[in-house]
Amino acid sequence: MRASDRAYARLRDDILHWHTPPGTVFAEVEQAERLKVSRTPIREAFSRLAAEGLLVPLAGRGLVVSELSRETIIELFELRIVLETEAARLVAARRNVDLFIGLKEEFEHAAELIDRGDDLASYYELVARLDAAMDESVGSRFLLGAIRQLRPHLARVRGLARDNRKRLSDAAAEHLTIVEAIIDRDSELAADATSVHLKKSLRNILESVDALEGAAGGRELTETKQGKQ
Protein backbone atom coordinates (compact mmCIF):
# COMPACT_ATOMS: atom_id res chain seq x y z
CA MET A 1 0.00 0.00 0.00
CA ARG A 2 1.23 3.44 -0.88
CA ALA A 3 2.18 5.88 1.82
CA SER A 4 -0.18 8.45 0.31
CA ASP A 5 -3.06 5.98 0.62
CA ARG A 6 -2.31 5.38 4.28
CA ALA A 7 -2.01 9.08 4.94
CA TYR A 8 -5.27 9.71 3.11
CA ALA A 9 -7.13 6.95 4.98
CA ARG A 10 -5.76 8.10 8.31
CA LEU A 11 -6.65 11.75 7.85
CA ARG A 12 -10.02 10.88 6.40
CA ASP A 13 -10.88 8.69 9.37
CA ASP A 14 -9.80 11.40 11.76
CA ILE A 15 -12.15 13.84 10.07
CA LEU A 16 -15.07 11.43 9.70
CA HIS A 17 -14.85 10.31 13.32
CA TRP A 18 -14.67 13.88 14.57
CA HIS A 19 -11.20 13.46 16.06
CA THR A 20 -10.33 16.58 14.10
CA PRO A 21 -13.47 18.74 14.22
CA PRO A 22 -14.38 21.45 11.69
CA GLY A 23 -12.00 24.35 11.93
CA THR A 24 -8.94 22.25 12.63
CA VAL A 25 -6.02 23.44 10.53
CA PHE A 26 -3.63 21.01 8.87
CA ALA A 27 -0.21 21.83 7.52
CA GLU A 28 1.95 19.61 5.38
CA VAL A 29 5.11 19.45 7.47
CA GLU A 30 3.17 18.94 10.67
CA GLN A 31 1.24 15.96 9.30
CA ALA A 32 4.31 14.60 7.55
CA GLU A 33 6.07 14.41 10.90
CA ARG A 34 3.06 12.94 12.67
CA LEU A 35 2.54 10.19 10.09
CA LYS A 36 6.25 9.60 9.54
CA VAL A 37 6.25 10.20 5.81
CA SER A 38 7.57 12.98 3.60
CA ARG A 39 5.53 15.91 2.41
CA THR A 40 4.88 14.36 -1.00
CA PRO A 41 2.32 11.72 0.02
CA ILE A 42 0.78 14.22 2.43
CA ARG A 43 0.24 16.64 -0.42
CA GLU A 44 -1.40 13.85 -2.38
CA ALA A 45 -3.71 13.03 0.53
CA PHE A 46 -4.55 16.71 1.11
CA SER A 47 -5.46 17.22 -2.52
CA ARG A 48 -7.80 14.23 -2.46
CA LEU A 49 -9.48 15.40 0.73
CA ALA A 50 -9.81 18.89 -0.71
CA ALA A 51 -11.39 17.49 -3.87
CA GLU A 52 -13.93 15.68 -1.71
CA GLY A 53 -14.66 18.88 0.14
CA LEU A 54 -13.52 17.65 3.54
CA LEU A 55 -10.63 20.10 3.55
CA VAL A 56 -10.69 23.68 2.34
CA PRO A 57 -7.48 25.48 1.36
CA LEU A 58 -6.46 28.44 3.48
CA ALA A 59 -4.11 30.66 1.51
CA GLY A 60 -0.70 30.54 3.10
CA ARG A 61 -1.87 28.86 6.28
CA GLY A 62 -2.68 25.26 5.43
CA LEU A 63 -5.99 23.48 4.98
CA VAL A 64 -8.92 23.60 7.32
CA VAL A 65 -11.48 20.88 8.05
CA SER A 66 -14.67 22.12 6.42
CA GLU A 67 -17.56 23.21 8.59
CA LEU A 68 -20.73 21.17 8.86
CA SER A 69 -23.55 23.46 9.85
CA ARG A 70 -27.25 22.70 10.13
CA GLU A 71 -27.70 24.46 6.79
CA THR A 72 -24.98 22.36 5.18
CA ILE A 73 -26.67 19.18 6.35
CA ILE A 74 -29.94 20.29 4.80
CA GLU A 75 -28.26 21.09 1.49
CA LEU A 76 -26.49 17.76 1.61
CA PHE A 77 -29.76 15.90 2.02
CA GLU A 78 -31.50 17.92 -0.65
CA LEU A 79 -29.04 16.64 -3.19
CA ARG A 80 -28.95 13.18 -1.66
CA ILE A 81 -32.69 12.84 -2.05
CA VAL A 82 -32.56 13.86 -5.69
CA LEU A 83 -29.75 11.44 -6.46
CA GLU A 84 -30.86 8.43 -4.47
CA THR A 85 -34.49 8.57 -5.57
CA GLU A 86 -33.23 8.57 -9.14
CA ALA A 87 -30.89 5.69 -8.33
CA ALA A 88 -33.74 3.71 -6.79
CA ARG A 89 -35.83 4.38 -9.89
CA LEU A 90 -33.11 3.08 -12.17
CA VAL A 91 -32.31 0.03 -10.06
CA ALA A 92 -35.98 -0.96 -9.86
CA ALA A 93 -36.25 -0.70 -13.63
CA ARG A 94 -33.36 -3.10 -14.06
CA ARG A 95 -33.55 -6.63 -15.31
CA ASN A 96 -31.58 -8.34 -12.59
CA VAL A 97 -32.92 -8.07 -9.05
CA ASP A 98 -31.28 -11.21 -7.68
CA LEU A 99 -28.92 -9.15 -5.58
CA PHE A 100 -31.86 -7.87 -3.56
CA ILE A 101 -33.67 -11.13 -2.82
CA GLY A 102 -31.28 -12.03 -0.03
CA LEU A 103 -31.28 -8.50 1.33
CA LYS A 104 -35.05 -8.54 1.60
CA GLU A 105 -34.96 -11.51 3.97
CA GLU A 106 -32.31 -9.87 6.06
CA PHE A 107 -34.27 -6.67 6.40
CA GLU A 108 -37.32 -8.69 7.41
CA HIS A 109 -35.34 -9.99 10.36
CA ALA A 110 -33.69 -6.68 11.04
CA ALA A 111 -36.40 -5.51 13.44
CA GLU A 112 -35.71 -8.24 15.99
CA LEU A 113 -32.01 -7.81 15.43
CA ILE A 114 -32.38 -4.20 16.49
CA ASP A 115 -34.66 -5.07 19.41
CA ARG A 116 -32.09 -7.54 20.67
CA GLY A 117 -29.87 -4.53 20.54
CA ASP A 118 -26.67 -6.37 21.27
CA ASP A 119 -25.38 -5.93 17.78
CA LEU A 120 -26.35 -2.64 16.17
CA ALA A 121 -23.15 -2.68 14.16
CA SER A 122 -24.45 -5.61 12.15
CA TYR A 123 -27.46 -3.53 11.12
CA TYR A 124 -25.23 -0.73 9.88
CA GLU A 125 -23.28 -3.34 8.01
CA LEU A 126 -26.50 -4.58 6.41
CA VAL A 127 -27.34 -1.07 5.25
CA ALA A 128 -23.83 -0.77 3.83
CA ARG A 129 -24.44 -3.93 1.82
CA LEU A 130 -27.69 -2.48 0.49
CA ASP A 131 -25.77 0.60 -0.60
CA ALA A 132 -23.21 -1.61 -2.31
CA ALA A 133 -25.96 -3.51 -4.13
CA MET A 134 -27.48 -0.23 -5.29
CA ASP A 135 -24.07 0.97 -6.47
CA GLU A 136 -23.57 -2.16 -8.45
CA SER A 137 -26.99 -2.02 -10.07
CA VAL A 138 -27.43 1.65 -10.77
CA GLY A 139 -25.71 1.44 -14.13
CA SER A 140 -24.82 5.09 -14.58
CA ARG A 141 -21.21 5.91 -13.76
CA PHE A 142 -22.00 9.59 -13.42
CA LEU A 143 -24.90 9.11 -11.04
CA LEU A 144 -22.82 6.68 -9.03
CA GLY A 145 -19.97 9.15 -8.94
CA ALA A 146 -22.22 11.93 -7.69
CA ILE A 147 -23.60 9.70 -4.94
CA ARG A 148 -20.12 8.61 -3.91
CA GLN A 149 -19.10 12.23 -3.67
CA LEU A 150 -21.65 12.70 -0.91
CA ARG A 151 -20.71 9.64 1.14
CA PRO A 152 -17.86 11.10 3.19
CA HIS A 153 -20.00 14.06 4.17
CA LEU A 154 -22.84 11.76 5.15
CA ALA A 155 -20.45 9.67 7.21
CA ARG A 156 -19.48 12.81 9.05
CA VAL A 157 -23.12 13.68 9.68
CA ARG A 158 -23.65 10.20 11.11
CA GLY A 159 -21.21 11.03 13.87
CA LEU A 160 -23.58 13.78 14.90
CA ALA A 161 -26.86 11.86 15.03
CA ARG A 162 -27.68 9.82 18.07
CA ASP A 163 -28.99 6.34 17.43
CA ASN A 164 -32.28 5.79 19.17
CA ARG A 165 -33.67 2.32 18.76
CA LYS A 166 -37.06 3.55 17.61
CA ARG A 167 -35.58 5.37 14.66
CA LEU A 168 -33.47 2.39 13.62
CA SER A 169 -36.47 0.11 13.78
CA ASP A 170 -38.45 2.53 11.59
CA ALA A 171 -35.52 2.80 9.23
CA ALA A 172 -35.42 -0.96 8.88
CA ALA A 173 -39.07 -0.96 7.84
CA GLU A 174 -38.40 1.83 5.34
CA HIS A 175 -35.46 -0.04 3.88
CA LEU A 176 -37.60 -3.13 3.55
CA THR A 177 -40.17 -1.16 1.58
CA ILE A 178 -37.48 0.08 -0.78
CA VAL A 179 -36.05 -3.39 -1.34
CA GLU A 180 -39.50 -4.86 -1.95
CA ALA A 181 -40.28 -2.15 -4.48
CA ILE A 182 -37.06 -2.92 -6.33
CA ILE A 183 -37.85 -6.63 -6.41
CA ASP A 184 -41.34 -5.84 -7.68
CA ARG A 185 -39.78 -3.59 -10.34
CA ASP A 186 -41.96 -0.75 -9.13
CA SER A 187 -39.78 2.24 -9.97
CA GLU A 188 -42.05 4.94 -8.65
CA LEU A 189 -42.62 3.16 -5.36
CA ALA A 190 -38.89 2.62 -4.99
CA ALA A 191 -38.29 6.31 -5.61
CA ASP A 192 -41.01 7.49 -3.26
CA ALA A 193 -40.03 5.06 -0.52
CA THR A 194 -36.45 6.33 -0.79
CA SER A 195 -37.68 9.88 -0.50
CA VAL A 196 -39.70 9.01 2.58
CA HIS A 197 -36.78 7.25 4.19
CA LEU A 198 -34.33 10.07 3.57
CA LYS A 199 -36.69 12.80 4.71
CA LYS A 200 -37.37 10.95 7.94
CA SER A 201 -33.65 10.37 8.41
CA LEU A 202 -32.98 14.04 7.91
CA ARG A 203 -35.65 15.02 10.41
CA ASN A 204 -34.14 12.68 12.97
CA ILE A 205 -30.66 14.04 12.38
CA LEU A 206 -31.81 17.64 12.67
CA GLU A 207 -33.49 16.81 15.97
CA SER A 208 -30.21 15.41 17.23
CA VAL A 209 -28.36 18.47 16.04
CA ASP A 210 -30.81 20.86 17.66
CA ALA A 211 -30.64 18.92 20.91
CA LEU A 212 -26.85 19.09 20.88
CA GLU A 213 -26.87 22.78 20.09
CA GLY A 214 -29.39 23.48 22.81
CA ALA A 215 -27.57 21.51 25.46
CA ALA A 216 -24.22 22.80 24.21
CA GLY A 217 -22.83 19.88 26.11
CA GLY A 218 -22.17 17.86 23.03
CA ARG A 219 -19.73 18.43 20.30
CA GLU A 220 -19.79 21.84 18.68
CA LEU A 221 -20.86 22.17 15.09
CA THR A 222 -18.96 25.35 14.52
CA GLU A 223 -15.54 25.45 16.02
CA THR A 224 -13.88 28.55 17.29
CA LYS A 225 -10.32 27.43 16.61
CA GLN A 226 -10.76 28.55 13.06
CA GLY A 227 -8.62 31.63 12.59
CA LYS A 228 -10.52 33.24 9.80
CA GLN A 229 -12.51 32.24 6.78
Partner DNA sequence: AGAACCAAAGTTGTATACATTCGAGGTCGT
Partner DNA sequence: ACGACCTCGAATGTATACAACTTTGGTTCT
Considering only residues 33, 40, 124, 151, which one is a binding residue for DNA as defined by CB under 7 A? 40
* Residue 41 or 114 with smaller CB distance to DNA: 41
- Residue 95 sits in the site that holds a copy of itself (CB under 8 A): no
Q: What angle do CA 77, 100, 144 make, to 5 degrees?
A: 40
Report the nearest approach of DNA to the CB of residue 36 (Å). 7
- Strand partners for 55: 65
Report the nearest approach of DNA to the CB of residue 11 (Å). 12
Report the nearest approach of a copy of itself to the CB of residue 204 (Å). 20
Residue type, 200: K
Spatial distance between the Cα atoms of 204 and 189, rounded to a whole number of angstroms: 22
| Cβ 218 vs Cβ 212: under 8 Å | yes
Report the nearest approach of a copy of itself to the CB of residue 190 (Å). 15
* Residue 57 or 139 with smaller CB distance to DNA: 57
Burial of 119 (0-12, 13-18, 19+ CB in 10 A): exposed
Residues that bind DNA (CB under 7 A): 2-5, 26-30, 37-41, 43-44, 59-63, 227-228
